[in-house]
Structure 1
């Protein structure tokens, strides 16, 4: 059995080889690894190269890694597994300087650092960089002082869009200037956007390399990010920028935004469209999910490929496993978020149930602030909705309390049990409850009542007088279809001959071209335009009914009404949905008849209505004061409540409203002998069924996972022919943990080669912990790993540790008293705290 020195050396050798470094010539490619003179290589077997490890008089072995021309590029210092790689830091620095090398790597086989001697301190990495990547990284000569001293004024972006704008006659003529700005789409930075950039420059001056901008929806985070990108590129402090988004449709939107303002100087590409030549661009846009899928970020990129990583909607795009992607790359990090941590200030996490969505949000927000170096909850820059309203850039909603005592029962402790997942349907039990939620609490009469209330009280378009453009958020895709149908029927009666079932449109992933629908709605040509006034360009379709497509990043400034036709339990979702209406708008811009323009009474948008049928505002804001209270008419039917009024109505076995007997939604299923025959043949038959389904196959190919999950739950599961269920498929897959439906479908369609085992996922989670917390001393890493895995996977171990009944470990076969003693004192508390904040235990359940 090899000793610790040889084991570490073997690991390092293989990491070098995996990154493209060569001990021996390979065809026309020469070797690019040189060992110090006292160490010789006599074998091409990398395992045999561990024999001379740490035998030099200096106590360590230096690797000298060469560039394509054979010149020294990087020094790698290798230490034994039990030693801290930083021990020989200064000696490595001295050797690197003697070889005229700017870069140093320090490794003990388990823990690795990359050190740019011109940039600061060593940075933890999880993979070794490739030769080409380090060579490219070398082209950037960092000079933070240039970045700090760069003059950033309100025309910083405009000088890229149109460098000589100030000398043009149309700009110099004040009367022509507004039209000139509009025609050329010039983007001047607002005062608060300038403050954000100046705050970042100050932070760089303080030696920081991680920043967080907390800016309300509608305040131009993307434009601010564009200015930051220009600042880093122009000052020569970065060579390439990675811009991470959390949804596929936001890739195109980000690329378009950056092209509009930066294309004169810098090129932006979407990674999936430029897999072979993304290196030619200065800005690369991608979703974090695509990089995380099958660990693509480690296979396709080197840690030194991007000098600046920007995370849009940071706490979504770096939450959970996604943080590994973000931390993988060396260099500056900027997070953008519209969700203030203050939103959870009254949330008692200690007494929260494990199914309370706010607990998950708390974890994400904690992760976000800590990742960006803001442990004190103070971001680099903060600009709230109230700031925007106060300074005249944003609009506060008029919140309409349009609830009944029955609909808000869902927000009680009892009703909350009927929670629902998003379209991904990660947990079958919750997916089942989602269907029950829709079936029992959204019967036709209830939906008609809500739609009628919405239409009678909605704000009208100030130019045409028709219902103002609106977005309604439904429970599910099926519920969205139902609401759109009811709204169109009502529009026929309210506006005879004006609409042909195009008043309301379902915009969900099930609908072909749904993404284009959202674009057309913003561009005022969804199913036509100018329906009331031919010279007024406003969308003929007035209401988009969606589930979650039009939340994050959707920019449609003339929205006048937002309808919450479902309870919302996520602070992020609530803020994003509310933010769809906060932007200002001049309705005259779309009117091409000057005689009508003069008669428009209130052309500037000064308000929008947020219809709250489920007391969502009260859920997030203690004792929320509603601007407008609408009392819905009482339901009719038999039954009574404790107050002697009308109780729940039952029609044909369906509840018009939620009654107190929530447990009536439980379903008892008798499992026959035939139903228990779960084996590999069962799983393979399921594979054949879904692969043969054109709808599923097309949606998978398009990456429309919410559509896939929804379809399989509705059309494939629980059918009498085979009675496929997620639980049966999990058992048939014979994996030692809980699989999600998406994982199963990814395997069916060949998107992943196999299911990762519980231990593989544990190794990934522990690697993130090591990269984040850098355990000391390194020799304790094995003991800490054993503790980490035991706490994640064993309910009994968690109970013992959390209750501090440590003597019970003496009889615990999984994690013993001796194991616990081997864990350094500070990590006995740190590991559980970390896991509670950053690790989802559900995926490790059997």
Structure 2
């Protein structure tokens, strides 16, 4: 049976092999055998190091291995001894070893001594030798370049966007790996992201940026923003200079500077699993939870190394991305930049409370960026309190619908049945409650809500349902209550069988029909529909 130290070495060996390193014993030492060679138990003036890393035949780094459970912050001092002292005859990239890792096989820390203020950071696995080789040939590291960004050209930018970009760049210059930007919906979050992405690529030399969206239709919208973005002072649009890829398969274009995808597709790619595009139209929270709240399992994928992206932007993703999905974000050795209109405590905690810019909705209304809103509440007794089938109704035939197949059958109640307001429209549907709300809206929309309108056209109306089955019930009720045909009300969810959700969203945005859209979360924050 292996000892804990041996188990750690076995895991480290596997991680190194997966990342493309050749592992050698000291007796078999051949530094030219591969681009990246990791030599076990190499003797240095300070003692035997666990692994000495050679890149293109020259010593470049060291790995200090410890058994599982050992805390690694103090181990960095042990690595530093090896880094500082090298034999005179040893071929090396610099006078000291540039890279050092501390690892138990389960947990790994990495430090690049060429950074302005070298600081160990947690990484999912080891970097590929090709990547470390490329970094060695650069005159400065990414973190050094982030400290030398030119002043921001503010022409065409709102004050809130200027604050966001300058706040982010200040945070990155301080080597803070997570930053959160709060910009009210409608204030131009994606345009701001295009602006700072261009600066990170153009001036900081970022190799590739990942832009995560919650649903595929938001990815289409983001792609258009990047394609149409014209950097201040540049002769060409962003898309004419850099490749922007919206992932629909499992292949990342090696020349792409910006890659747009959903967390669902990224997870499937890392697992090596296929993914239907229809699965990207649902909320990550709605369809992709782990068992009993457990984080989704993830291992190292040699096809997608941890250094694939330098920066990851998360745009209006559900807060579950920072819980059940967080290991997908933490897989990459990248700085994380969050964009949100309404940060929750959970989100703030994930970004280490590093809120670099704050532009709330109230300020956007004062600035004239957004319009104010009013709340018109329609209450029903069933909505507030729930309901029950009275004792005198026992024996009544109750319709029961299969949520998966939607097949209807009838069951006889043999006892009183009660349900709460929270169960309404989830496990229990009360069609009369839906009709009551819709009838109230129809009767008062032109008398109390929009008295200045002629009443010829119902204002574009967006209704949020609790799930796809609830949305189906609402669509049929809307058509019935308003006395209109199928084109008047449409369901826009990821389960739109026979109709393209993207085409329906476009029609809702620009065409006379439909007047009413019923969705779960496919048409939500980030989807630009000005009439609503």
Judge same fold: TM > 0.5, yes or no.
yes
Give 1:466's aligned residue.
Answer: 457
In structure 2, C-alpha distance between the alignment counterparts of 1:442 and 1:137, rounded to whole Å: 66
Aligned with 2:510 (options 506, 524, 544): 524
Give 1:112's aligned residue.
Answer: 108
2:198 is aligned with 1:230: yes
Q: Give the direction of change, closer, same or farther, for the CA distance of 1:298–1:250 in structure 2 (3 Å limit).
A: farther
Please state how far the C-alpha of 1:217 moved relative to its aligned partner: 1.6
Whether the aligned pair in 2 keeps the contact of 1:461 and 1:467 (CA below 8 Å) is no
2:64 is aligned with 1:77: yes
Q: Give the direction of change, closer, same or farther, for the CA distance of 1:404–1:434 in structure 2 (3 Å limit).
A: closer
For this pair of structures, how many residues does the alignment match?
447
Q: Which 10-residue stretch deviates more, 332-341 or 79-88? A: 79-88
- Give the CA RMSD over aligned residues: 3.7
Q: 1:609-758 to 2 correspondence within 5 Å?
A: none
Give 2:516's aligned residue.
Answer: 543
2:442 is aligned with 1:452: yes
2:290 is aligned with 1:311: no
In structure 2, C-alpha distance between the alignment counterparts of 1:277 and 1:474, rounded to whole Å: 35
In structure 2, C-alpha distance between the alignment counterparts of 1:276 and 1:474, rounded to whole Å: 35
In structure 2, C-alpha distance between the alignment counterparts of 1:380 and 1:103, rounded to whole Å: 30
Aligned with 2:531 (options 558, 562, 565): 558
Q: Give the direction of change, closer, same or farther, for the CA distance of 1:501–1:87 in structure 2 (3 Å limit).
A: same
Give 1:86's aligned residue.
Answer: 76
Whether the aligned pair in 1 keeps the contact of 2:243 and 2:257 (CA below 8 Å) is yes
Give 1:153's aligned residue.
Answer: 153
Secondary structure of 2:363's counterpart equals helix
2:237 is aligned with 1:289: no
Q: 1:390-405 to 2 correspondence within 5 Å?
A: 390-405=366-381
In structure 1, C-alpha distance between the alignment counterparts of 2:380 and 2:41, rounded to whole Å: 82
In structure 1, C-alpha distance between the alignment counterparts of 2:146 and 2:124, rounded to whole Å: 30
Give 2:186's aligned residue.
Answer: 218
Please state how far the C-alpha of 1:278 moved relative to its aligned partner: 2.2
2:495 is aligned with 1:510: yes
- Map Cα deviations across residues 690-744 of structure 1 (whole Å, 9 max, x no partner): xxxxxxxxxxxxxxxxxxxxxxxxxxxxxxxxxxxxxxxxxxxxxxxxxxxxxxx
Q: Give the direction of change, closer, same or farther, for the CA distance of 1:394–1:443 in structure 2 (3 Å limit).
A: closer
Whether the aligned pair in 2 keeps the contact of 1:12 and 1:107 (CA below 8 Å) is yes
Whether the aligned pair in 2 keeps the contact of 1:311 and 1:334 (CA below 8 Å) is yes
Whether the aligned pair in 1 keeps the contact of 2:101 and 2:110 (CA below 8 Å) is yes
Give 1:723's aligned residue.
Answer: none
- Map Cα deviations across residues 612-666 of structure 1 (whole Å, 9 max, x no partner): xxxxxxxxxxxxxxxxxxxxxxxxxxxxxxxxxxxxxxxxxxxxxxxxxxxxxxx
Higher strand share: 2
Give 2:416's aligned residue.
Answer: none
Q: Larger radius of gyration, structure 1 or 2?
A: 1
In structure 1, C-alpha distance between the alignment counterparts of 2:450 and 2:367, rounded to whole Å: 24
2:311 is aligned with 1:321: no
Q: Using structure 2 for the length normalisation, give the TM-score.
A: 0.73
Q: Give the direction of change, closer, same or farther, for the CA distance of 1:524–1:57 in structure 2 (3 Å limit).
A: closer
Please state how far the C-alpha of 1:215 moved relative to its aligned partner: 1.7
Whether the aligned pair in 1 keeps the contact of 2:185 and 2:341 (CA below 8 Å) is yes
Secondary structure of 1:282's counterpart equals strand
Give 2:16's aligned residue.
Answer: 16
Higher helix share: 1
Whether the aligned pair in 2 keeps the contact of 1:503 and 1:540 (CA below 8 Å) is yes
- Map Cα deviations across residues 378-432 of structure 1 (whole Å, 9 max, x no partner): 6111111101001111112121122245433359xxxxxxxxxxx99xxxx99x9
Please state how far the C-alpha of 1:307 moved relative to its aligned partner: 1.1
Q: Give the direction of change, closer, same or farther, for the CA distance of 1:232–1:517 in structure 2 (3 Å limit).
A: same
Q: Using structure 1 for the length normalisation, give the TM-score.
A: 0.48
Whether the aligned pair in 2 keeps the contact of 1:292 and 1:325 (CA below 8 Å) is yes
In structure 2, C-alpha distance between the alignment counterparts of 1:314 and 1:31, rounded to whole Å: 39
- Map Cα deviations across residues 281-335 of structure 1 (whole Å, 9 max, x no partner): 0111221223334456731422222111111125536322211121222232211
Please state how far the C-alpha of 1:542 moved relative to its aligned partner: 1.3
In structure 2, C-alpha distance between the alignment counterparts of 1:406 and 1:3, rounded to whole Å: 63
In structure 2, C-alpha distance between the alignment counterparts of 1:113 and 1:444, rounded to whole Å: 55
In structure 2, C-alpha distance between the alignment counterparts of 1:546 and 1:153, rounded to whole Å: 40
2:445 is aligned with 1:484: no
Secondary structure of 1:311's counterpart equals strand
Q: 1:386-465 to 2 correspondence within 5 Å?
A: 386-409=362-385, 433=423, 438-440=428-430, 442=432, 445-446=435-436, 449-453=439-443, 455-456=445-446, 457-459=448-450
Q: Give the direction of change, closer, same or farther, for the CA distance of 1:406–1:21 in structure 2 (3 Å limit).
A: same
Secondary structure of 1:87's counterpart equals helix
- Map Cα deviations across residues 737-793 of structure 1 (whole Å, 9 max, x no partner): xxxxxxxxxxxxxxxxxxxxxxxxxxxxxxxxxxxxxxxxxxxxxxxxxxxxxxxxx
Aligned with 1:65 (options 47, 54, 59): 54
In structure 2, C-alpha distance between the alignment counterparts of 1:464 and 1:73, rounded to whole Å: 74
Please state how far the C-alpha of 1:280 moved relative to its aligned partner: 1.2
Whether the aligned pair in 2 keeps the contact of 1:518 and 1:550 (CA below 8 Å) is no
Q: 1:38-437 to 2 correspondence within 5 Å?
A: 58-67=47-56, 70-79=57-66, 82=70, 84=72, 85-94=75-84, 98-100=92-94, 102-119=98-115, 120-136=118-134, 141-142=141-142, 144=144, 149-155=149-155, 188-261=156-229, 262-273=238-249, 275-293=250-268, 294=271, 298-299=300-301, 300-314=303-317, 316=319, 318-341=321-344, 365-366=345-346, 368-374=347-353, 379-409=355-385, 433=423
Please state how far the C-alpha of 1:223 moved relative to its aligned partner: 1.1
In structure 2, C-alpha distance between the alignment counterparts of 1:524 and 1:231, rounded to whole Å: 34
Whether the aligned pair in 1 keeps the contact of 2:180 and 2:337 (CA below 8 Å) is yes
Give 2:392's aligned residue.
Answer: none
In structure 2, C-alpha distance between the alignment counterparts of 1:242 and 1:460, rounded to whole Å: 47
In structure 2, C-alpha distance between the alignment counterparts of 1:4 and 1:436, rounded to whole Å: 50
- Map Cα deviations across residues 433-477 of structure 1 (whole Å, 9 max, x no partner): 566654236457535534534644553897995222121123443
In structure 1, C-alpha distance between the alignment counterparts of 2:4 and 2:434, rounded to whole Å: 70
Whether the aligned pair in 2 keeps the contact of 1:212 and 1:336 (CA below 8 Å) is yes
- Map Cα deviations across residues 589-618 of structure 1 (whole Å, 9 max, x no partner): xxxxxxxxxxxxxxxxxxxxxxxxxxxxxx
